Amino acid sequence: MSRTPIMAGNWKMNMDHLGAVSLVQDLGKALEDAGYDPARSEAVVIPPFTDIRSVQTLVEGDKLPLAWGAQDISAHEDGAYTGEVSGSMLAKLGCSYVVTGHSERREYHGETDELVNAKAKKIIEHGMTPIICCGEPLEVRKAGKHVEHTVGQITADLAGIDAADVAKLVIAYEPIWAIGTGETATADDAQEVCGAIRKAVADLYDEATAESVRIQYGGSVKAGNVVEIMSKPDVDGALVGGASLKAGDFAQIVTFYAK
Ligand code: 13P
């Protein structure tokens, strides 16, 4: 398989910039100790906005094998949008990735697929890579409509984005009932939906685009379950919340291939 797995730590609203500096220092050391090989998986940290400059300075200064990104972006270019952070600001801080469509933003901030789509376009316009999140709530899973729900989200989130850009982006399947709950989808559950997303991309675009897009699973990924999840053919990485806040745990997840 030509897709390089991508392991991204979404720190959510944790760690001030001092905590970020110490976590990234510890992570650099833990990756070195674990014999991390960047050719076998890509390691990304996604701290809060206030930490990004510190993370950038440290990673660049110490040449750590890490990319970094942001958890959100404004759909606007610039101007009178109090509290928002623009794509050009994030690009200037060297962000490679920006998350959009996380279920916590959909749920607590009313973000719609239309807005997720606008944000994905903004991320691409500024030369960064979107990590577009999707996933079903428990009621939808219980009703057996999880594939339809998730494919519907992704179809709307990708509207009007070119095949060449879709080929480079990252999609994260995060079933809401598995986020922060300790309840992980089985590897087969993850494969079912990640496979369906890849097929949807093939139907919307073409096979080459579908083969190139990277699809992560997210939801209670830990050092103890990452190997099984990563054994599935359509799972190309993990979007990790809680376990990304501990350097040793995240380093184990990033180096899953060595287990
Ligand atoms: P947890 O790994 O804490 O379940 O969070 C998953 C997530 O939402 C990552 O974006």
Q: What is the pLDDT of residue 2?
A: 83
Indicate if 146 belongs to the active site: no
Q: What is the pLDDT of residue 184?
A: 79
SS3 69: strand
Q: Are 42 and 49 in contact (CB under 8 A)?
A: no
User: How many angstroms separate the alpha carbon of residue 240 from the centre of ligand 1?
Assistant: 5
Select which of 42, 104, 111, 174 is catalytic: 174
pTM over 0.95: yes
Low-confidence stretches of the chain (pLDDT beneath 50): none
Select which of 102, 126, 146, 149 is catalytic: 102
Q: What is the pLDDT of residue 14?
A: 98
For 79, half-sphere exposure in the C-beta direction (CA atoms, 13 angstrom radius) is 3
For 50, 70, 133, 164, 198, the CA distances from 155, given in Å and listed in that order, are 32, 23, 12, 16, 11
Indicate if 126 belongs to the active site: no
User: How many angstroms separate the alpha carbon of residue 83 from the centre of ligand 1?
Assistant: 24
Q: What is the pLDDT of residue 107?
A: 96
Q: What is the pLDDT of residue 227?
A: 97
Q: Give the tens place of pLDDT for each residue, 2-15.
A: 899 999 999 999 99
Ligand 1 probe mutation, 239, 250, 252, 253, most atoms within 8 A of CB: 239
Residue type for position 8:
A
Is the distance from the beta carbon of residue 242 to the nearest atom of ligand 1 less than 6 Å? yes
Q: Give the tens place of pLDDT for each residue, 23-73.
A: 999 999 999 999 999 999 999 999 999 999 999 999 999 999 999 999 999
Helix runs in the chain, H state only: 17-33, 52-62, 87-92, 103-108, 113-125, 138-142, 146-157, 163-168, 187-204, 207-212, 226-230, 247-254
Is the distance from the beta carbon of residue 184 to the nearest atom of ligand 1 less than 6 Å? no
Q: What is the pLDDT of residue 177?
A: 93
User: How many angstroms separate the alpha carbon of residue 53 from the centre of ligand 1?
Assistant: 23
Looking at ligand 1, which residue's alpha carbon is closest to its atom 9?
241
> Among all chains, which residue has been given the structure tokens 């599935």?
232
User: How many angstroms separate the alpha carbon of residue 78 from the centre of ligand 1?
Assistant: 30
Q: What is the pLDDT of residue 32?
A: 97
Q: What is the pLDDT of residue 180?
A: 86
